[in-house]
Structures are given as C-alpha cells and as structure tokens.
Amino acid sequence: MAIIHPLMKHLATMVRRSPRGRRITALAAMLVWIGLVLYPNPFPLWQSLDRLMHPPVDPAAAETLAAQLPDDPVLIDAFSRDYIRYESAWRIYGMPWYFPSVAEAIEDGAGDCQAQALVAASIFEAKGIPYTLNYSFDHVWLDYEGKQLTSLEDPAQSIMASGEGGWLALMPSHLPLAEIVEQRVRFTGCPCPSSADCSWRWGSS
C-alpha cells in the first residue's frame, strides 16, 4: 500500500467532510488551471517575479544608446519612452505579464512602463546620472533632478523606491484609484494578444 503523506491525508479528509474545504480546493484548482493556461511554461513568470524584486538595470546593454544621447536626464527619459514603444506583454510576448531584461526591451523596441523605466535607468547608470526607480501599485518610473510630476508619476503613490528598503517600505499617501483605472485603460487598451481577439469587447468587426 502506498504511503500517503499526513498533510495530503488531512487535506483529503477536509475535502470529504467540509463544504468549505471543497470550495477552497475548487478555488485552488481553478487558480492553478488559470495559471497553466496563461503560463504553460512557468519559467517566464518566475523570472519576471525575480526581476520585479531585483530590477535588472544593465548599463552595459544600454552603452550604445547612452553614447548617442546628451547627459540630460529629461531628454533621456523622453527618449526611452519614444524608443520603447508602449505595448502590452500580450502583444509582445503572448503573456499577461512579463518583465523583460534591458537587452530584450531594446531589441524589441517595445514594452510597458517597466521596460521604459528599465532602459532609462540603464542609460542613467551608463552616464553616471543619479536617479530613483519608483514603483506604485500601477506604474514604474524614474525620479531625478528636474523631473516633472504627473498624475501617474508621483512619489506620494510609491510603494517601493530603489535604496528605500524594498517592497512596501513606503506606504502611498495618495492613491487616486479612479484616475489610475481610467489612465490604465487608455494606455493599455485591449489586453488581448491581437485586436481580433477583442472584437467581442469593443463591438468591432
């Protein structure tokens, strides 16, 4: 007879006897199924999570771009937004979320705010320009001398900043949820891999 791990035996008993246990198990199974559908190969997800916790700023990968740009942080920031065309991970990588390396972002010439900020930060480091990498619940951006605040790029919304102690070391003092949702819908548009996949949502043919 096979030896069943005590924890698995307890889980099996809980599922048989408890409606709540069955609901929890069904929810867990559904989440696993959704995860496998969205990430058949889980490696990009784990890789992205690691990069999220340890942003892979790479000045060596951005040296060629840095050499073509002036030592002006405002112009560099604007350049990264133009050079890295804003596109969702669905359209570029066929995944709901992916955190690219600097080399990938530069090669693709497209990405979301993570890619844009990462490329800008890499150019800043290549030039020795000081900056702070900020994360809010919805956005990633750079702070630097001369930076103009926007509704999306406000340190008051930051939950993490480079050199400030990691995730949730900062608590946002300003969180305009309605504005965040409205701007995210406008910037991201349809989150599906192709416009055809979203025809049902927007009523287009």
CA 160 to CA 164: how far, in whole Å? 7
Cα 142 to the center of its chain, rounded Å:
15
| Structure-model confidence comparison of residues 182 and 140, the more confident one | 140
According to the model, what pLDDT value does residue 90 have? 87
Chain position carrying tokens 């705010």? 113
What is the pLDDT, as a whole number, of residue 204? 36
Q: Name the residue type at position 28.
A: A
pLDDT at 125: 96
Cα separation of 201 and 199, whole Å? 5
Q: If you search the block for the tokens 């946002």, which residue do you land on? A: 172
**Closest by alpha carbon to 64, among 42, 46, 79, 50?**
79
d(CA 113, CA 81): 8
Q: Which domains does the chain have, with CATH numbers?
A: 43-191 (3.10.620)
Q: Which residue has the tokens 């995210």?
A: 184
- Tell the burial category of 83 from Cβ atoms under 10 Å away from its Cβ (0-12, 13-18, 19+): middle
The 10s digit of each residue's pLDDT in 70-79 is 999 999 999 9
pLDDT in tens, 4-37: 455 455 555 655 555 666 667 666 666 666 656 6
C-alpha distances in Å from residue 32, one per residue of 13, 35, 144 = 21, 5, 41
Contact indicator for 115, 101 with CB cutoff of 8 Å: no
- Within 10 angstroms of residue 197's Cβ, the number of other Cβ atoms is 12
Q: Is the pLDDT of residue 80 over 60?
A: yes
In degrees, rounded to 5, the angle at the alpha carbon of residue 114 between the alpha carbons of residues 41 and 106 is 85
Across all residues in the chain, what is the average pLDDT? Answer: 76
SS3 127: helix
83, two tokens = 């050079």
Beta bridge partners of 48: none
pLDDT reading at 153 higher than 90: no
Q: Are 99 and 47 in contact (CB under 8 A)?
A: yes
